[in-house]
Amino acid sequence: MGRKIGSNCVALIVEDDVELRTLAVKLLEETDLNVVEVSCCEEALCYLNFNGGKVAFLFAEAKGSRLISGVDLARTARLRWPRIRTVLTSGEPLEEDLHKTLRNVRFMLKPWMALEVLIEAEKATRQAIQ
């Protein structure tokens, strides 16, 4: 397990697929980040409203499953908590206009590679402690 650098650095995982969420949790538990997992973007937004200052890394499904999509969540996070490193994932490519709208948001096509996720988490950790 990675050495935890303190409770102020959280990785927030948003994924409705239990298996993928569990995989992401197991992977990120090996980093310096404390891991919080939720199953939908509404839960993530609620968590961010109370703990946005602690979140260093947001790893979310782009589509979402209820009222708020991952894209909406990423936009909100970039506006309200711009220092959060944000990665969206999806089984389908994002539309070109979304890439332009979501500058500074990394997109990973599923199945994502564990190494890519770990690299993004490491960047988030370094950014958070600067």
CATH number, domain 10-128, options 3.40.50.970, 3.40.50.720, 3.30.450.20, 3.40.50.2300? 3.40.50.2300
Given this model, what pLDDT does residue 99 score?
A: 65
Q: Which two tokens mark 46?
A: 């609620």
- Residue 86 pairs in a beta bridge with 58, 105
- Both tokens of 28, joined, read 């990120």
pLDDT, position 106: 94
Report long-range pairs for 99-102 (Cβ below 8 Å, ≥24 apart): 101/75, 102/71, 102/74, 102/75, 102/78
Per-residue pLDDT, 1: 43
CA 10 – CA 34 distance, rounded (Å): 5
Domain limits, the chain: 10-128
Tens-level pLDDT at each residue, the chain (130 residues): 444 545 479 999 999 999 999 999 999 999 999 999 999 999 999 999 999 999 999 999 998 777 899 999 999 999 999 999 999 999 998 877 676 668 889 999 999 999 999 999 999 999 988 8
Cα dist. 52→8, 37, 92, 126, 129 in Å? 10, 14, 28, 17, 15
